[in-house]
Amino acid sequence: MGRLPLIGRLSFHEYIALLVGFSLLALETILRSTILFLPKSIVHWFYQRSEILFDRFTSVAKKRGQTTEEAVSNAVRTAKDFGELCSYYGYAYEEHVVMTKDGYLLTLHRVPEPKGQTTPTSAHKPVVYLHHGLLMNSEVWVCLTNEERCLPFVLVEQGFDVWLGNNRGNKYSKKAVHRSPTSTEFWDYSLDDFAWHDIPDSIAYILTRTHVCSLSYVGFSQGTAQAFAALSLHPQLNQKVNVLIALAPAMSPAGLAARVVDALMKASPTSMYLFFGRKAILSSTPTWQAIFYPPIFTYIIDGALRFLFAWRGDNIAGSQKIAAYAHLYSYTSVKAVVHWFQIMREAAFQMYDDDVSAGGALQGRAYRPTRFPTRNIVTPVLLVYGAADSLVDVDAMLRELPEHTRVCRLVGYEHLDILWGQNVHKDVIPEVVNALRVHCETPDSMRVGVKVFERDNAEGR
């Protein structure tokens, strides 16, 4: 007797979890649809009520006025976009648009000069390209509550020409030449498309614009996976990237800490399509963010991260969370998330499995999706990861990366700590600067202040 394609592979508990999940999603859809039709005054009323409830049921006393820390956190939180975040700290920025070979329009952000400087200092400065993680955009790099912990600002002060990328579909790249973002076709992309088009096309544009031969790549989380994939698929790209610095690197995570969710997604990654459809995932997040008082929204995000990944977030200050979580989410496709669950199921850094009916795990050796040939990467690689990061299996990663890969292990760090931790200016940024000094195209053009920066942080450890 034949088995149902999804339910036949699920246990009783997983089947119950599936039904509960559908019920919660249906409830959330009804609530969000209702909110969309409410006047702004009513939405604001709910926001005020959530603030009152928070103050009433927590030990946090409402203060008269704001401390400097609270004022900075609030300013960063309420900044509308990348430009306002840069302007708050006194940095000029540029926006560029690059069209990929398959017709998507991607926004690149650039911070070309140190604070207060509007005219170019010199040509052919070393170029560094930063790329964000899953469900993020370029704002995650600049939404910190002080400058010394903000990697792009530190790098531009050290003499770098800093560029920041954005994936197709996110807040800054939600447009294509031949596809509308309201169509299913627009969201039909995965890691494969980031690797084939977004990363190499963005790098090509930057090199053409800056007239340099190569740049340095700093990625976070999925931004590292996109680089691993792109460099493995495009041999010529290795000549254009002089070093890959992978922060909280992602390649083939073991899975989620939430066992029921992990088992369900590994049993059938495409069940994500049943939950979320085939367009953008978690598109309702901005709506709930507008409804809830920021500390409440922070608690919700913390709870979700603890449930899914067992991250405690103890190394990130509360004021930093309130500031940064407002910029944490950005749109991506459901297909991109399905791709990650396929990778987790197979425990292999592979391309998207289009033949979902076959199922590599069920076919044994008769069927296996194509893997990214990451051992072929020639570019120098540095992995900077947290010892407490549940998504990083560095031993498994090193087996798939070239032998020249170097590793920096940070004790007590989790995933998001690498971006927003209280001591990133002591533990993370010096590692990045050191690697750039060794590998960047024109290291002599970096400011002498680099040595002081590193020494001061070393003394502060």
So where are the chain's domains?
66-447
Decide: 202 and 150 in contact? Cβ < 8 Å: no
Closest C-alpha among 274, 336, 395, 400 to residue 17 = 274
Nearest-Å Rg of the Cα atoms of the chain is: 22
Beta strands per DSSP E along 302-399: 381-386
Closest CA to 188 of 283, 98, 104: 104
Domain 66-447: give its CATH superfamily.
Alpha/Beta hydrolase fold, catalytic domain (3.40.50.1820)
Residue 137 · residue 170 · CB < 8 Å = yes
SS3 state at 393: coil
Distance CA 388, CA 320 (A): 20
Q: What is the pLDDT of residue 21?
A: 59
pLDDT for residue 356: 62
Query: What pLDDT, on a 0 to 100 scale, did the predictor assign at position 446?
Result: 53
DSSP 18-67: HHHHHHHHHHHHHHHHHHHTS-HHHHHHHHHHHHHHHHHHSS-PPPSS--
Catalytic residues: 221, 389, 415
pLDDT value at position 61? 47
pLDDT by position in tens, the chain (length 461): 444 444 455 556 556 655 655 565 565 555 555 555 657 676 666 656 666 666 555 555 455 456 888 899 999 999 999 999 999 999 999 999 999 999 999 999 999 999 988 766 656 799 999 999 999 999 999 999 999 999 999 999 999 999 999 999 999 999 999 999 999 999 999 999 999 999 999 999 999 999 999 999 999 999 999 999 999 999 999 999 999 999 999 998 988 888 878 887 877 788 888 888 899 998 877 777 777 788 888 988 999 999 999 999 999 999 999 999 999 999 999 999 999 999 999 999 999 998 765 444 444 556 788 999 999 999 999 999 999 999 999 999 999 999 999 999 999 999 999 999 999 999 999 999 999 999 986 655 554 333 333 333 333 33
Going across the sheet that includes 381-386, the strands are: 94-99, 105-111, 161-164, 127-131, 215-220, 241-247, 381-386, 406-410
The set of residues, in sequence order, having a beta carbon less than 8 Å from that of 445 and lying 6+ positions away, is 122, 124, 125, 126, 159
Q: In this predicted structure, what is the pLDDT of residue 82?
A: 98
